[in-house]
Structure 1
Amino acid sequence: MAGGIEIRAAHFPGRAPIDAYGNGGFRFADMSHRGSILCLPSGIHGWEVSGFGELEEADLARLFDEASEFDILLVGTGEQLIPMPVELRKRFREAGVAVETMATGAAVRTYNVLLAEDRTVAAALIAVD
C-alpha cells in the first residue's frame, strides 16, 4: 500500500441546511467547505466555479444529470444578482426545472426555507467573500 494522502472530491451524502456562508465558503452539517457548492438530492458537492460569468457546459453537467430529482433550482450568483442566459434557462425548463437566480445570500436563505418545507429543491451556490 502506498502512503500519502488521498484527495477525493468534496461530497456530503445528504441534504442539509446551510448554516453560514461567506469568507469564500459555506458551513453545513457541522462541516465547512471552501469554495462553491452544489446542493442536490444526492448530497452537497464541491463545485469548481468561482464566478457566474465563467460557467461552462461541463460545470452544469451534474445539475442536468440529476434534474429529474428536483423541481426548483436556486442559483446563487455571488455578491450580486446576475441573470441567467435565456438559452440556459430554456434548457432547464425543458428538463422540468424552474430556475431562480439571485445573490448567493438570498439563495442560501431561500434554499433553507424550501428544504425545511421538504420541497424538491437544488441549489448551485457560488462562494462569496
Structure 2
Amino acid sequence: MSRAAKGFARLINPGVVLNPELNQKLAAFEAMSAKRSELDRELGRLRKKQDETEDNLAEALAEDEFQCNLRGQQYTGPNEEELLEILRSHLGGVINKLANKYERLVYLDADIRKLKGTIEKAIAVANEESAAAASM
C-alpha cells in the first residue's frame, strides 16, 4: 500500500469496500503526491544551481578586483547597469525555471488539497453506507 493510501486507510472503517471511482481518486492522489515530490527535487537542484552560479559570479568579481590590485591598478568594477546585465544573463534562466516550478507547485498543491477533501468525504459516505447496511 502506498504512503498516500496508508494516510487514508486510517479513515476507512474495517470491512468497508471502496468503489472503483474512489479507488481512481486515490490513485490520482498518489500520482499527484509523486509529482509534488519530483517538483521538490527539481526545485532543490535549481536552488543549488542558483547558489553555485551566484558563488561563481562573486568569485569572478573578487578575482578581477584582486588582479587589478596586484597590478597596482584602480579597480572600478562593473557599474550598476553592467552588474544587473551580468546577473540577468547568468541567473535569469535559473530564476525563470524556479518561478515556473513554484507556479506549478502552487497549483498542484491546490489540486491536491481539493482532491484530498473529496476523498475524505467519499470515505465518510462509504463508511456511513457500510454502517447502515450492517445495521439492517
| Band the TM-score falls in, shorter-chain normalisation | under 0.3
Q: Which has the higher strand share?
A: 1
Q: Which has the higher helix share?
A: 2
Please report the TM-score for the alignment, with normalisation by the length of structure 1. Answer: 0.22
Name which structure has the greater RCO, CA cutoff 8 Å, separation 6+. Answer: 2
